[in-house]
A and B are shown apart, each in its own frame.
Chain A
Amino acid sequence: MYKSLAETRSAIESGETTIEGLTRYYLQQIADKSSLNAFLEVFQQDALNQAIAADEKRKLGNPGKLNGMVIGIKDVLCYKGHKVSSSSRILEGFESIYTATAVQRLIDEDAVIIGRLNCDEFAMGSSNENSAYGPVHHHLDPNMVPGGSSGGSAVAVAAGLCLATLGTDTGGSIRQPASLCGITGLKPTYGTVSRWGCIAYASSFDQIGPMANTVEDCAIILEVIAGPDEHDSTMIQKPSPAYSQLLKSEGPVKIAYFKQYIESEGLDTEIKAYVLQLIEKLRAAGHTVEELEFPYLDYVIPAYYVLTTAEASSNLSRFDGIHYGYRSKNATDLESTYKLSRTEGFGKEVKRRIMLGTFVLSSGYYDAYYSRAQKVRRMLRDHTNNILNSYSFILMPSTPGTTFPLGGKSSDPIQMYLEDIYTVQANLCGLPAISIPMGQHSNGFPFGVQLVGGASKDSDMLAFAARLQNDFV
Protein backbone atom coordinates (compact mmCIF):
# COMPACT_ATOMS: atom_id res chain seq x y z
CA MET A 1 0.00 0.00 0.00
CA TYR A 2 0.98 3.67 -0.19
CA LYS A 3 3.97 4.62 1.94
CA SER A 4 3.43 8.36 2.24
CA LEU A 5 0.77 11.04 2.15
CA ALA A 6 2.10 12.25 -1.21
CA GLU A 7 1.72 8.75 -2.74
CA THR A 8 -1.72 8.40 -1.20
CA ARG A 9 -2.80 11.78 -2.52
CA SER A 10 -1.69 11.04 -6.08
CA ALA A 11 -3.52 7.70 -6.00
CA ILE A 12 -6.65 9.51 -4.87
CA GLU A 13 -6.20 12.23 -7.51
CA SER A 14 -5.81 9.64 -10.26
CA GLY A 15 -9.03 7.93 -9.17
CA GLU A 16 -7.23 4.76 -8.14
CA THR A 17 -8.83 4.92 -4.71
CA THR A 18 -10.90 7.11 -2.39
CA ILE A 19 -10.36 7.93 1.27
CA GLU A 20 -13.35 5.75 2.08
CA GLY A 21 -11.91 2.89 0.05
CA LEU A 22 -8.56 3.35 1.72
CA THR A 23 -10.13 3.38 5.18
CA ARG A 24 -11.99 0.16 4.38
CA TYR A 25 -8.71 -1.37 3.21
CA TYR A 26 -6.96 -0.44 6.47
CA LEU A 27 -9.90 -1.73 8.55
CA GLN A 28 -9.54 -5.06 6.76
CA GLN A 29 -5.77 -5.10 7.33
CA ILE A 30 -6.31 -4.44 11.04
CA ALA A 31 -8.79 -7.34 11.21
CA ASP A 32 -6.48 -9.66 9.24
CA LYS A 33 -3.50 -8.84 11.45
CA SER A 34 -5.32 -8.66 14.78
CA SER A 35 -2.87 -11.16 16.29
CA LEU A 36 -0.28 -8.33 16.40
CA ASN A 37 -2.48 -6.80 19.13
CA ALA A 38 -1.53 -3.32 17.93
CA PHE A 39 -5.02 -1.82 18.17
CA LEU A 40 -7.00 -1.88 21.41
CA GLU A 41 -10.08 -0.60 19.59
CA VAL A 42 -11.05 0.35 16.06
CA PHE A 43 -13.37 3.35 15.61
CA GLN A 44 -14.95 1.77 12.54
CA GLN A 45 -18.11 3.80 12.03
CA ASP A 46 -16.62 7.16 13.02
CA ALA A 47 -13.59 6.53 10.80
CA LEU A 48 -15.79 5.71 7.80
CA ASN A 49 -17.88 8.82 8.41
CA GLN A 50 -14.74 10.95 8.57
CA ALA A 51 -13.46 9.31 5.38
CA ILE A 52 -16.69 10.03 3.50
CA ALA A 53 -16.62 13.64 4.71
CA ALA A 54 -12.95 13.97 3.68
CA ASP A 55 -13.73 12.63 0.17
CA GLU A 56 -16.51 15.18 -0.03
CA LYS A 57 -14.25 18.05 1.00
CA ARG A 58 -11.69 17.06 -1.61
CA LYS A 59 -14.34 17.00 -4.32
CA LEU A 60 -15.50 20.46 -3.26
CA GLY A 61 -11.92 21.67 -3.73
CA ASN A 62 -11.07 22.50 -0.11
CA PRO A 63 -9.16 19.54 1.29
CA GLY A 64 -7.40 19.90 4.66
CA LYS A 65 -3.65 19.44 5.03
CA LEU A 66 -4.12 15.81 6.10
CA ASN A 67 -6.82 14.93 3.57
CA GLY A 68 -6.16 11.29 2.68
CA MET A 69 -4.27 10.42 5.84
CA VAL A 70 -5.55 7.55 7.99
CA ILE A 71 -4.08 7.85 11.49
CA GLY A 72 -4.12 5.76 14.65
CA ILE A 73 -3.66 7.31 18.09
CA LYS A 74 -1.84 5.95 21.12
CA ASP A 75 -4.16 4.93 23.93
CA VAL A 76 -3.13 7.86 26.12
CA LEU A 77 -4.84 10.51 23.97
CA CYS A 78 -8.38 11.63 24.73
CA TYR A 79 -10.99 11.67 21.98
CA LYS A 80 -14.43 12.75 23.10
CA GLY A 81 -17.01 9.96 23.20
CA HIS A 82 -14.34 7.28 22.72
CA LYS A 83 -12.67 5.02 25.23
CA VAL A 84 -9.12 5.67 26.43
CA SER A 85 -7.33 3.49 28.98
CA SER A 86 -3.55 4.13 29.02
CA SER A 87 -3.50 0.34 28.54
CA SER A 88 -4.42 0.09 32.23
CA ARG A 89 -7.14 -1.79 34.08
CA ILE A 90 -7.64 1.27 36.24
CA LEU A 91 -9.20 3.09 33.25
CA GLU A 92 -11.10 0.15 31.81
CA GLY A 93 -14.37 1.44 30.36
CA PHE A 94 -13.40 5.12 30.76
CA GLU A 95 -14.79 7.34 28.01
CA SER A 96 -13.21 10.73 27.20
CA ILE A 97 -15.33 13.79 27.86
CA TYR A 98 -13.14 16.05 25.73
CA THR A 99 -10.68 15.72 22.84
CA ALA A 100 -6.92 16.22 23.08
CA THR A 101 -5.78 19.35 21.22
CA ALA A 102 -3.41 17.30 19.04
CA VAL A 103 -6.20 14.92 18.04
CA GLN A 104 -8.66 17.75 17.37
CA ARG A 105 -6.13 19.47 15.10
CA LEU A 106 -5.71 16.24 13.09
CA ILE A 107 -9.48 15.96 12.69
CA ASP A 108 -9.78 19.62 11.67
CA GLU A 109 -7.38 18.93 8.77
CA ASP A 110 -9.40 15.92 7.51
CA ALA A 111 -7.40 13.08 9.06
CA VAL A 112 -9.34 9.85 9.60
CA ILE A 113 -8.87 8.59 13.19
CA ILE A 114 -9.04 4.84 12.76
CA GLY A 115 -8.53 3.61 16.32
CA ARG A 116 -6.54 3.61 19.53
CA LEU A 117 -3.24 1.83 19.85
CA ASN A 118 -1.84 -0.48 22.48
CA CYS A 119 1.11 0.76 24.56
CA ASP A 120 2.86 0.10 27.85
CA GLU A 121 0.64 0.94 30.82
CA PHE A 122 0.75 4.72 31.39
CA ALA A 123 3.52 4.83 28.77
CA MET A 124 5.93 3.15 31.20
CA GLY A 125 8.05 0.59 29.43
CA SER A 126 10.32 -0.17 26.50
CA SER A 127 8.84 -3.38 25.12
CA ASN A 128 5.04 -2.97 25.20
CA GLU A 129 4.90 -5.93 27.58
CA ASN A 130 3.45 -3.80 30.39
CA SER A 131 0.03 -3.40 28.76
CA ALA A 132 -2.91 -4.73 30.77
CA TYR A 133 -4.35 -5.85 27.42
CA GLY A 134 -1.45 -8.06 26.41
CA PRO A 135 1.81 -7.37 24.58
CA VAL A 136 2.10 -6.07 21.02
CA HIS A 137 4.00 -8.42 18.73
CA HIS A 138 6.72 -7.37 16.31
CA HIS A 139 5.36 -7.39 12.75
CA LEU A 140 8.31 -9.46 11.47
CA ASP A 141 8.27 -12.08 14.23
CA PRO A 142 5.50 -12.62 16.81
CA ASN A 143 8.01 -13.81 19.41
CA MET A 144 9.81 -10.47 19.41
CA VAL A 145 8.87 -7.14 21.00
CA PRO A 146 8.11 -3.96 19.01
CA GLY A 147 9.71 -1.72 21.65
CA GLY A 148 7.77 0.73 23.75
CA SER A 149 6.01 2.43 25.10
CA SER A 150 4.40 3.39 21.75
CA GLY A 151 4.73 -0.20 20.49
CA GLY A 152 1.27 -0.40 18.95
CA SER A 153 1.83 2.91 17.18
CA ALA A 154 5.10 1.64 15.66
CA VAL A 155 3.78 -1.75 14.56
CA ALA A 156 0.62 -0.23 13.06
CA VAL A 157 2.74 1.85 10.66
CA ALA A 158 5.31 -0.88 9.98
CA ALA A 159 2.63 -3.51 9.27
CA GLY A 160 0.60 -1.15 7.07
CA LEU A 161 -2.47 -0.96 9.34
CA CYS A 162 -2.68 2.81 8.80
CA LEU A 163 -0.45 5.45 7.22
CA ALA A 164 0.77 7.19 10.38
CA THR A 165 0.22 7.31 14.11
CA LEU A 166 0.61 9.57 17.11
CA GLY A 167 2.80 8.37 19.94
CA THR A 168 4.13 10.01 23.06
CA ASP A 169 7.77 10.22 24.10
CA THR A 170 8.88 10.68 27.72
CA GLY A 171 12.27 8.96 27.50
CA GLY A 172 12.29 7.45 24.03
CA SER A 173 8.80 5.98 23.71
CA ILE A 174 8.44 7.17 20.10
CA ARG A 175 12.03 6.77 18.87
CA GLN A 176 12.92 3.42 20.46
CA PRO A 177 9.96 1.47 18.97
CA ALA A 178 10.42 3.38 15.68
CA SER A 179 14.01 2.09 15.61
CA LEU A 180 13.01 -1.48 16.47
CA CYS A 181 10.20 -1.56 13.86
CA GLY A 182 12.03 0.23 11.03
CA ILE A 183 9.96 3.42 10.81
CA THR A 184 10.48 7.14 11.42
CA GLY A 185 9.60 8.64 14.81
CA LEU A 186 9.82 12.26 15.95
CA LYS A 187 9.92 13.77 19.43
CA PRO A 188 9.47 17.53 19.09
CA THR A 189 11.05 20.20 21.31
CA TYR A 190 9.37 20.24 24.72
CA GLY A 191 6.48 22.72 24.58
CA THR A 192 5.85 22.40 20.83
CA VAL A 193 2.76 20.17 21.01
CA SER A 194 -0.02 20.75 23.53
CA ARG A 195 -0.29 18.10 26.23
CA TRP A 196 -3.97 18.92 26.82
CA GLY A 197 -5.84 15.62 26.67
CA CYS A 198 -2.69 13.52 26.89
CA ILE A 199 -2.80 11.30 29.98
CA ALA A 200 0.28 12.37 31.93
CA TYR A 201 3.25 10.23 32.86
CA ALA A 202 6.01 12.79 33.62
CA SER A 203 4.84 16.27 32.73
CA SER A 204 8.21 17.98 32.27
CA PHE A 205 9.28 15.25 29.80
CA ASP A 206 6.13 14.14 27.91
CA GLN A 207 5.70 15.21 24.29
CA ILE A 208 3.27 13.95 21.66
CA GLY A 209 4.84 13.24 18.27
CA PRO A 210 4.25 11.57 14.89
CA MET A 211 5.35 8.14 13.70
CA ALA A 212 5.31 7.43 9.96
CA ASN A 213 7.28 5.92 7.11
CA THR A 214 8.94 9.17 6.07
CA VAL A 215 10.36 12.35 7.56
CA GLU A 216 8.07 14.32 5.21
CA ASP A 217 4.95 12.77 6.74
CA CYS A 218 6.24 13.43 10.27
CA ALA A 219 6.79 17.07 9.26
CA ILE A 220 3.28 17.60 7.90
CA ILE A 221 1.72 16.00 10.98
CA LEU A 222 3.87 18.11 13.29
CA GLU A 223 2.87 21.20 11.34
CA VAL A 224 -0.78 20.39 12.05
CA ILE A 225 -0.51 19.50 15.74
CA ALA A 226 2.16 22.04 16.84
CA GLY A 227 1.64 25.56 18.16
CA PRO A 228 0.32 27.35 21.22
CA ASP A 229 -2.87 26.19 22.93
CA GLU A 230 -4.63 28.10 25.67
CA HIS A 231 -5.16 24.82 27.53
CA ASP A 232 -1.43 24.19 28.06
CA SER A 233 0.54 26.96 29.73
CA THR A 234 3.85 25.06 29.50
CA MET A 235 4.05 25.64 25.76
CA ILE A 236 6.35 27.78 23.65
CA GLN A 237 4.18 30.80 22.83
CA LYS A 238 5.78 31.65 19.48
CA PRO A 239 3.72 30.37 16.53
CA SER A 240 5.24 27.20 15.05
CA PRO A 241 6.60 27.24 11.48
CA ALA A 242 5.20 25.40 8.43
CA TYR A 243 7.57 22.46 8.89
CA SER A 244 6.51 20.68 5.69
CA GLN A 245 7.44 23.75 3.61
CA LEU A 246 10.90 24.01 5.15
CA LEU A 247 12.35 20.60 4.32
CA LYS A 248 15.08 21.92 2.09
CA SER A 249 18.57 21.42 3.51
CA GLU A 250 21.58 22.53 1.50
CA GLY A 251 25.29 22.83 1.91
CA PRO A 252 27.61 21.29 4.46
CA VAL A 253 26.58 21.06 8.12
CA LYS A 254 28.49 20.56 11.35
CA ILE A 255 27.60 17.43 13.29
CA ALA A 256 28.90 16.12 16.61
CA TYR A 257 28.92 12.60 17.94
CA PHE A 258 29.96 11.31 21.35
CA LYS A 259 32.86 8.94 21.84
CA GLN A 260 31.27 7.46 24.97
CA TYR A 261 28.03 6.69 23.09
CA ILE A 262 29.78 4.90 20.24
CA GLU A 263 32.18 3.03 22.49
CA SER A 264 29.56 2.02 25.03
CA GLU A 265 29.84 -1.68 25.88
CA GLY A 266 26.10 -2.18 25.45
CA LEU A 267 26.07 -1.05 21.80
CA ASP A 268 25.63 -3.83 19.22
CA THR A 269 28.86 -4.06 17.19
CA GLU A 270 27.04 -4.11 13.85
CA ILE A 271 25.04 -0.99 14.70
CA LYS A 272 28.27 0.67 15.80
CA ALA A 273 29.87 -0.19 12.45
CA TYR A 274 26.85 1.21 10.57
CA VAL A 275 26.99 4.49 12.50
CA LEU A 276 30.74 4.86 11.88
CA GLN A 277 30.18 4.10 8.20
CA LEU A 278 27.46 6.75 8.03
CA ILE A 279 29.85 9.24 9.64
CA GLU A 280 32.41 8.47 6.90
CA LYS A 281 29.78 8.89 4.18
CA LEU A 282 28.76 12.25 5.62
CA ARG A 283 32.38 13.38 5.74
CA ALA A 284 32.93 12.23 2.17
CA ALA A 285 29.94 14.35 1.15
CA GLY A 286 31.59 17.42 2.65
CA HIS A 287 29.98 17.62 6.06
CA THR A 288 31.99 18.20 9.21
CA VAL A 289 31.48 15.36 11.68
CA GLU A 290 33.49 15.57 14.88
CA GLU A 291 33.95 13.28 17.83
CA LEU A 292 33.37 14.89 21.23
CA GLU A 293 33.65 13.71 24.80
CA PHE A 294 30.38 13.37 26.69
CA PRO A 295 31.23 12.47 30.25
CA TYR A 296 27.64 12.23 31.47
CA LEU A 297 26.47 9.05 29.74
CA ASP A 298 26.33 7.05 32.99
CA TYR A 299 24.10 9.68 34.62
CA VAL A 300 21.36 10.14 32.03
CA ILE A 301 19.30 7.07 32.92
CA PRO A 302 19.63 7.55 36.71
CA ALA A 303 18.60 11.23 36.45
CA TYR A 304 15.74 10.27 34.14
CA TYR A 305 14.35 7.63 36.51
CA VAL A 306 14.52 9.78 39.63
CA LEU A 307 12.73 12.69 37.95
CA THR A 308 10.13 10.80 35.91
CA THR A 309 9.10 8.51 38.76
CA ALA A 310 8.73 11.53 41.05
CA GLU A 311 6.47 13.24 38.52
CA ALA A 312 4.58 9.99 37.88
CA SER A 313 3.89 9.40 41.57
CA SER A 314 2.32 12.85 41.70
CA ASN A 315 0.43 12.60 38.39
CA LEU A 316 -0.99 9.16 39.13
CA SER A 317 -2.37 10.21 42.52
CA ARG A 318 -5.51 11.29 40.63
CA PHE A 319 -6.52 7.63 40.26
CA ASP A 320 -8.41 7.29 43.50
CA GLY A 321 -11.28 4.91 42.72
CA ILE A 322 -13.75 7.73 43.26
CA HIS A 323 -13.87 10.28 40.46
CA TYR A 324 -13.41 7.91 37.54
CA GLY A 325 -11.95 4.55 36.70
CA TYR A 326 -11.82 1.31 38.61
CA ARG A 327 -13.12 0.95 42.18
CA SER A 328 -12.37 -2.20 44.16
CA LYS A 329 -15.37 -4.25 45.23
CA ASN A 330 -13.42 -5.30 48.31
CA ALA A 331 -13.15 -1.79 49.76
CA THR A 332 -14.89 -1.15 53.08
CA ASP A 333 -13.92 2.43 53.92
CA LEU A 334 -12.33 5.47 52.30
CA GLU A 335 -8.73 4.40 52.83
CA SER A 336 -9.29 0.89 51.54
CA THR A 337 -11.12 2.40 48.55
CA TYR A 338 -7.95 4.27 47.64
CA LYS A 339 -5.54 1.48 48.45
CA LEU A 340 -7.38 -1.49 46.99
CA SER A 341 -8.58 0.32 43.86
CA ARG A 342 -5.03 1.44 43.09
CA THR A 343 -3.41 -1.87 44.07
CA GLU A 344 -5.83 -3.90 41.93
CA GLY A 345 -6.00 -1.36 39.10
CA PHE A 346 -2.31 -0.62 38.45
CA GLY A 347 0.18 -3.09 36.99
CA LYS A 348 3.52 -4.04 38.48
CA GLU A 349 5.80 -1.58 36.67
CA VAL A 350 3.47 1.34 37.37
CA LYS A 351 3.43 0.47 41.09
CA ARG A 352 7.22 0.14 41.09
CA ARG A 353 7.58 3.63 39.62
CA ILE A 354 5.02 5.19 41.98
CA MET A 355 6.92 3.68 44.93
CA LEU A 356 10.30 4.92 43.67
CA GLY A 357 8.84 8.36 42.96
CA THR A 358 7.27 8.53 46.41
CA PHE A 359 10.63 7.58 47.91
CA VAL A 360 12.68 10.25 46.11
CA LEU A 361 10.13 12.91 47.05
CA SER A 362 9.78 11.87 50.68
CA SER A 363 11.11 13.90 53.56
CA GLY A 364 14.72 13.01 54.30
CA TYR A 365 15.49 11.76 50.77
CA TYR A 366 14.29 14.69 48.66
CA ASP A 367 17.61 16.56 48.59
CA ALA A 368 19.79 13.51 48.04
CA TYR A 369 17.73 12.16 45.14
CA TYR A 370 15.12 14.47 43.64
CA SER A 371 16.83 17.81 44.04
CA ARG A 372 20.20 16.35 43.03
CA ALA A 373 18.68 14.87 39.86
CA GLN A 374 17.21 18.28 38.99
CA LYS A 375 20.68 19.80 39.33
CA VAL A 376 22.22 17.09 37.18
CA ARG A 377 19.44 17.77 34.65
CA ARG A 378 20.53 21.41 34.45
CA MET A 379 24.18 20.40 33.99
CA LEU A 380 23.24 17.95 31.24
CA ARG A 381 21.04 20.49 29.48
CA ASP A 382 23.56 23.33 29.64
CA HIS A 383 26.38 21.07 28.45
CA THR A 384 24.27 19.75 25.57
CA ASN A 385 23.07 23.23 24.59
CA ASN A 386 26.68 24.45 24.53
CA ILE A 387 27.53 21.71 22.08
CA LEU A 388 24.50 22.62 19.96
CA ASN A 389 25.71 26.22 19.83
CA SER A 390 28.75 25.02 17.88
CA TYR A 391 27.20 22.08 16.01
CA SER A 392 23.87 21.87 14.20
CA PHE A 393 23.10 18.30 15.27
CA ILE A 394 24.24 15.44 17.42
CA LEU A 395 24.24 12.06 15.69
CA MET A 396 23.84 8.88 17.70
CA PRO A 397 22.36 5.40 17.57
CA SER A 398 18.64 5.29 18.43
CA THR A 399 18.87 2.06 20.38
CA PRO A 400 21.72 -0.12 21.66
CA GLY A 401 20.41 -3.11 19.71
CA THR A 402 17.59 -4.49 17.58
CA THR A 403 14.37 -6.07 18.87
CA PHE A 404 14.58 -8.71 21.59
CA PRO A 405 12.41 -11.71 22.55
CA LEU A 406 9.18 -11.29 24.53
CA GLY A 407 10.07 -11.90 28.17
CA GLY A 408 13.76 -11.38 27.40
CA LYS A 409 14.26 -8.32 29.60
CA SER A 410 11.07 -8.12 31.60
CA SER A 411 12.49 -9.76 34.74
CA ASP A 412 15.19 -7.10 35.19
CA PRO A 413 14.02 -3.48 35.34
CA ILE A 414 17.55 -2.07 34.92
CA GLN A 415 18.18 -4.02 31.70
CA MET A 416 14.88 -2.69 30.37
CA TYR A 417 15.72 0.89 31.43
CA LEU A 418 18.99 0.74 29.48
CA GLU A 419 17.00 0.31 26.25
CA ASP A 420 16.51 4.09 26.45
CA ILE A 421 20.15 4.98 27.02
CA TYR A 422 20.43 6.97 23.77
CA THR A 423 16.98 8.51 23.79
CA VAL A 424 16.55 10.02 27.29
CA GLN A 425 19.07 12.81 26.75
CA ALA A 426 16.69 14.67 24.41
CA ASN A 427 13.88 14.46 27.00
CA LEU A 428 16.10 15.53 29.89
CA CYS A 429 17.18 18.55 27.82
CA GLY A 430 13.79 19.26 26.18
CA LEU A 431 15.36 18.96 22.72
CA PRO A 432 13.92 17.71 19.43
CA ALA A 433 15.11 14.30 18.23
CA ILE A 434 14.20 11.94 15.42
CA SER A 435 14.90 8.30 14.68
CA ILE A 436 15.03 7.25 11.05
CA PRO A 437 15.46 3.68 9.81
CA MET A 438 19.09 3.04 9.06
CA GLY A 439 19.40 -0.49 7.88
CA GLN A 440 18.86 -4.14 8.45
CA HIS A 441 20.95 -6.08 10.90
CA SER A 442 22.30 -9.49 9.86
CA ASN A 443 19.70 -10.91 12.27
CA GLY A 444 17.05 -9.66 9.84
CA PHE A 445 15.65 -6.88 12.06
CA PRO A 446 15.74 -3.14 11.46
CA PHE A 447 17.35 -0.42 13.57
CA GLY A 448 17.45 3.35 13.46
CA VAL A 449 19.84 6.25 13.72
CA GLN A 450 19.04 9.35 15.72
CA LEU A 451 19.54 13.06 15.20
CA VAL A 452 19.19 15.50 18.09
CA GLY A 453 18.72 19.16 17.19
CA GLY A 454 18.83 22.50 18.98
CA ALA A 455 15.88 23.70 21.06
CA SER A 456 13.03 24.89 18.82
CA LYS A 457 15.10 24.02 15.74
CA ASP A 458 12.82 21.11 14.84
CA SER A 459 12.53 22.51 11.37
CA ASP A 460 16.31 22.39 10.66
CA MET A 461 16.46 18.91 12.14
CA LEU A 462 13.59 17.65 10.00
CA ALA A 463 15.16 19.12 6.86
CA PHE A 464 18.48 17.41 7.50
CA ALA A 465 16.76 14.16 8.54
CA ALA A 466 14.90 14.17 5.21
CA ARG A 467 18.23 14.62 3.42
CA LEU A 468 19.73 11.80 5.48
CA GLN A 469 16.75 9.56 4.70
CA ASN A 470 16.76 10.34 0.98
CA ASP A 471 20.50 10.45 0.27
CA PHE A 472 22.42 8.52 2.90
CA VAL A 473 20.56 5.52 4.32
Chain B
Amino acid sequence: MNVDQQLIDQLAHLSRLSFDAETGKEMVHDLNRILSFVEKLSEVNTDGVEPLIYMVEETNVLREDVVQLEITQNEGLKNAPKKDSDYFRVPRFVDSE
Protein backbone atom coordinates (compact mmCIF):
# COMPACT_ATOMS: atom_id res chain seq x y z
CA MET B 1 0.00 0.00 0.00
CA ASN B 2 1.37 3.39 -0.99
CA VAL B 3 -0.22 6.50 0.46
CA ASP B 4 0.12 9.60 -1.74
CA GLN B 5 -1.00 13.19 -1.42
CA GLN B 6 -4.20 12.48 -3.35
CA LEU B 7 -5.25 9.76 -0.88
CA ILE B 8 -4.41 12.04 2.05
CA ASP B 9 -6.65 14.76 0.56
CA GLN B 10 -9.48 12.26 0.13
CA LEU B 11 -9.12 10.89 3.69
CA ALA B 12 -8.84 14.41 5.09
CA HIS B 13 -12.15 15.33 3.45
CA LEU B 14 -13.85 12.18 4.80
CA SER B 15 -12.41 12.98 8.26
CA ARG B 16 -13.43 16.66 8.00
CA LEU B 17 -9.83 17.71 8.58
CA SER B 18 -7.50 19.80 6.47
CA PHE B 19 -3.74 19.78 6.08
CA ASP B 20 -1.47 22.40 4.55
CA ALA B 21 1.47 21.48 2.31
CA GLU B 22 3.81 20.74 5.19
CA THR B 23 1.49 18.84 7.52
CA GLY B 24 0.09 16.98 4.48
CA LYS B 25 3.59 15.78 3.62
CA GLU B 26 4.13 14.65 7.21
CA MET B 27 0.85 12.76 7.09
CA VAL B 28 1.88 10.97 3.87
CA HIS B 29 5.11 9.90 5.56
CA ASP B 30 3.48 8.83 8.86
CA LEU B 31 0.62 6.90 7.28
CA ASN B 32 3.00 5.05 4.96
CA ARG B 33 5.13 4.04 7.91
CA ILE B 34 2.19 2.96 10.07
CA LEU B 35 0.52 1.05 7.23
CA SER B 36 3.66 -0.86 6.35
CA PHE B 37 3.82 -1.79 10.05
CA VAL B 38 0.19 -2.98 10.31
CA GLU B 39 0.43 -4.84 7.00
CA LYS B 40 2.06 -7.58 9.05
CA LEU B 41 -1.52 -8.75 9.63
CA SER B 42 -1.67 -10.03 6.05
CA GLU B 43 0.69 -12.87 7.09
CA VAL B 44 -2.00 -14.38 9.32
CA ASN B 45 -4.20 -17.01 7.72
CA THR B 46 -7.69 -15.90 8.68
CA ASP B 47 -9.61 -18.27 6.38
CA GLY B 48 -12.88 -19.33 7.94
CA VAL B 49 -12.50 -17.02 10.96
CA GLU B 50 -15.46 -14.80 11.83
CA PRO B 51 -14.68 -11.17 12.70
CA LEU B 52 -14.88 -10.48 16.46
CA ILE B 53 -17.23 -7.55 16.95
CA TYR B 54 -18.81 -7.72 20.41
CA MET B 55 -16.69 -8.16 23.51
CA VAL B 56 -19.33 -9.36 25.95
CA GLU B 57 -21.50 -12.46 25.65
CA GLU B 58 -24.72 -10.66 26.61
CA THR B 59 -27.29 -10.26 23.86
CA ASN B 60 -30.05 -7.66 23.72
CA VAL B 61 -29.60 -5.97 27.06
CA LEU B 62 -32.95 -4.24 27.36
CA ARG B 63 -34.53 -1.96 29.94
CA GLU B 64 -38.01 -0.56 30.45
CA ASP B 65 -38.71 2.38 28.16
CA VAL B 66 -39.54 4.93 30.81
CA VAL B 67 -39.73 8.65 30.08
CA GLN B 68 -37.17 10.45 32.21
CA LEU B 69 -35.88 13.98 32.03
CA GLU B 70 -32.11 13.61 32.28
CA ILE B 71 -30.91 16.61 30.34
CA THR B 72 -32.88 19.83 29.93
CA GLN B 73 -32.83 21.92 26.77
CA ASN B 74 -30.78 24.54 28.59
CA GLU B 75 -28.22 21.96 29.64
CA GLY B 76 -28.10 20.61 26.09
CA LEU B 77 -27.31 24.07 24.76
CA LYS B 78 -24.99 25.00 27.59
CA ASN B 79 -21.69 24.15 25.90
CA ALA B 80 -22.62 25.21 22.36
CA PRO B 81 -20.14 27.69 20.88
CA LYS B 82 -23.05 29.57 19.19
CA LYS B 83 -26.69 29.37 20.16
CA ASP B 84 -29.85 31.37 20.74
CA SER B 85 -32.50 30.65 23.35
CA ASP B 86 -33.77 27.51 21.61
CA TYR B 87 -31.30 26.41 18.94
CA PHE B 88 -27.72 25.65 18.02
CA ARG B 89 -26.59 28.32 15.54
CA VAL B 90 -24.81 27.19 12.39
CA PRO B 91 -23.59 29.14 9.36
CA ARG B 92 -26.15 29.54 6.55
CA PHE B 93 -26.08 26.48 4.29
CA VAL B 94 -29.11 26.96 2.02
CA ASP B 95 -29.61 29.86 -0.35
CA SER B 96 -32.21 32.43 0.65
CA GLU B 97 -33.82 32.46 -2.83
Contact = CB atoms under 8 A, between A and B. Distances in A.
Q: Dominant SS at the A interface?
A: helix
Nearest to A371: B51
B63 to A, nearest CB: 5
A375 B15 contact: no
Interface residues of A, number: 67
Interface in B36-88: 37-44, 46, 49-56, 58, 61, 63, 70-71, 75-76, 78-82, 88
Contacts of A414: 33-34, 37
A313 B15 contact: yes
Contacts of A373: 38, 41
Interface string A225-242: 000001001111100000
Contacts of A378: 49-52
What secondary structure prevails in chain B residues at the interface with A? loop
A358 interface: yes
Contacts of A190: 55-56
B52 A381 contact: yes
Interface residues of B, number: 51
Nearest to B27: A355
Contacts of A375: 44, 46, 49-52
B90 A334 contact: yes
Contacts, number: 163
Interface in A157-189: none
A191 B56 contact: yes
Contacts of B40: 298-299, 302
A363 to B, nearest CB: 10
Interface of B: 3, 7-8, 11-12, 14-19, 27, 30-31, 33-35, 37-44, 46, 49-56, 58, 61, 63, 70-71, 75-76, 78-82, 88, 90-93
Interface of A: 93-95, 97-98, 190-191, 204, 230, 233-237, 298-299, 301-303, 305-306, 313, 317, 320-327, 331-335, 337-340, 342-343, 346, 351-352, 354-356, 358-359, 362, 368-369, 371-379, 381, 413-414, 417, 430
- Per CB-CB distance, the 8 closest pairs between chain A and chain B, nearest first, are A374-B51, A324-B79, A327-B81, A378-B52, A375-B46, A302-B38, A338-B16, A233-B61
